[in-house]
Chains A and B, each alone.
Chain A
Amino acid sequence: MFNFKNMSILFKISRIWNVLLCLAMFSCVGTTTEEKYYNDLGEIRFDEKLDDINFKVCHEDYTFPFNYGGVGLVYTGEKRELEKTYFDDYKNTRIEGQTGFITIRFIINCEGKAGRFRVEEMDLNLEPKKFDDTISTQIINITKSLGGWQAYEYEGITYDYQQYLTIKIEDGRLKDVLP
């Protein structure tokens, strides 16, 4: 388990800070209709149509992006191991025009397990695009098979966090694993 003290302190303070500021300023009610969420723009809520009911999170209202704080991507064997899994398991087939990015956002829960996968497919101009199923299914399955994630733990309490991976595809071939 990785341990980054500042991240947890930061979130505790920011929670209190937000409440105090809202109370003090009476300005939390604005004019626009904003997407509602508990704590963070990147949180992923349970969807019974998409998600495994057995995948649990410890703090439903409290997930944070993996890149906040001071750690970044944490994976057993580092980035090279992560890349290896994709490059070993993905079957490259040249298919002209199958170029762009597939981003998979998900949660690493307090047990270090991954779940609640959400997929976004886009072209190089970052406009929505639908890849051939042979490509996107492979990418999703490889992502779900990754086993090197680690839970975040601080002072004996484990937390859930948001992770994303973006896969760059060029003419059907795997080009890059990001970040």
Chain B
Amino acid sequence: MKKLLYFLILVSFQMSIFGQQNCEILKDNSKCYRACLIMNEESLFRQGSFESQKHLSDAIEMCPTLSNAYFEKSVAYLKRGRFMEWKMLMDKAVELNPEQHLSYRAWCQFSFLHNYEETIKDLNQLSAIKNTPFIGVGQSGDYDLRMVLALSYKFTERKEKAIDIIETALQDEDYYVGLYDYLHLGVLYLENNQLEKAVNSFEKQIEENELAEVYYYLAKTYHNLEKELEAKRSIERALEMYNKGRKMHSNYYQYADQIYEKDILDLQKKIG
């Protein structure tokens, strides 16, 4: 049963990722209503198959203002590294409906391309449209978009600003606590030489979601604090978790602050 469930999740992920649009709202526009139905039929096919892309092209031809059809069509290009085609289609979707599609474009620029300045532009634009602190969640469901914005500032050498955004967001009762938030905040503190704060953040991360990365960075922090026994224990735990598969992983991109076995072994050698 577990295997079947896993398989069904895989199948569904490779098909339409947003589910079906409610076409009834387009009933007054017969062409767009029909286009919407064709677009929804696409979800019967595997994403990236000829049939799938063809349904979406037909929907676009029939109703050139159907933003979801451009969006759905773009995803297959993205996953195959055909970024120019992806961007052309996503730009069209954003032009037609920025409030709905800016978050996805920002998320992809961040995760697939590490294109941080573009991510910042999109998220700030979305923030201006929504005019609320909470502007959405990244496509993978792992992050509140404020965390994505903060990490984009971090990777463009604005660490103080990144820390400020995260600390403020964590105070907000609407904040969507992601799977790795305290890890990222802890790493920022570590890089900013706020070591005690880093340890506290990593401890929170362990309570929320224990994984190899948090022990790796905790070991680094303890090593900087010259607490060698704790550092040694942490790096051993990092390797144990890594070997068990308790680590950050995506089929599509590398996570911010993700580590690999070599990183653990190198730090272990350094700690001794």
Instruction: Say whether A31 faces chain B, with CB atoms less than 8 Å apart.
Output: yes
Interface residues in B99-126 (C-beta closer than 8 Å to A): 112-115, 117-118
Instruction: Say whether B168 faces chain A, with CB atoms less than 8 Å apart.
Output: no
10 shortest A-B CB distances, which residue pairs? A164-B81, A42-B80, A72-B251, A126-B87, A30-B58, A32-B57, A67-B251, A41-B48, A14-B46, A80-B262
* Chain B residues touching A, majority SS: helix
Chain B residue with the shortest CB-CB distance to A128:
B84
Residue in A32, A41, A179 whose beta carbon sits within 8 Å of that of B254 in the complex: A179
CB of A149, distance to nearest CB on chain B (Å): 16
Instruction: List chain B positions with a Cβ less than 8 A from chain A.
Output: 6-7, 10-11, 14, 41, 44-46, 48-51, 53-55, 57-58, 60-62, 76-77, 79-84, 86-87, 112-115, 117-118, 249-254, 260-263
Known: A41-B76, A178-B112. A30 touches B10 (CB 8 A): no
Would B249 and A72 count as touching, CB distance under 8 A?
A: yes
Complex CA gap A81/B263 in Å reads: 11
Instruction: List chain A positions with a Cβ less than 8 A from chain B.
Output: 6, 9-10, 13-14, 17-18, 21-22, 25, 27-28, 30-32, 34-37, 39-42, 65, 67-73, 77-81, 101, 103, 105, 120, 122, 124-128, 162, 164-166, 168, 176, 178-179
Chain B residue with the shortest CB-CB distance to A165:
B81
CB of B40, distance to nearest CB on chain A (Å): 12
Chain B residue with the shortest CB-CB distance to A41:
B48
List the A side residues contacting B117 at CB < 8 Å.
124
Would A178 and B253 count as touching, CB distance under 8 A?
A: yes
Would A32 and B83 count as touching, CB distance under 8 A?
A: no
CB of A173, distance to nearest CB on chain B (Å): 14
Complex CA gap A9/B79 in Å reads: 20
Complex CA gap A35/B82 in Å reads: 14
Known: A124-B115, A166-B81. A178 touches B254 (CB 8 A): yes
CB of B110, distance to nearest CB on chain A (Å): 12
Known: A120-B83, A122-B83, A166-B113. A14 touches B49 (CB 8 A): yes
Would A18 and B46 count as touching, CB distance under 8 A?
A: yes
CB of B249, distance to nearest CB on chain A (Å): 7
Complex CA gap A76/B39 in Å reads: 41
Residue in B114, B251, B260 whose beta carbon sits within 8 Å of that of A168 in the complex: B114
Complex CA gap A164/B113 in Å reads: 12
Would A69 and B10 count as touching, CB distance under 8 A?
A: yes
CB of B232, distance to nearest CB on chain A (Å): 22
Would A30 and B112 count as touching, CB distance under 8 A?
A: no
Would A34 and B54 count as touching, CB distance under 8 A?
A: yes
Would A166 and B57 count as touching, CB distance under 8 A?
A: no
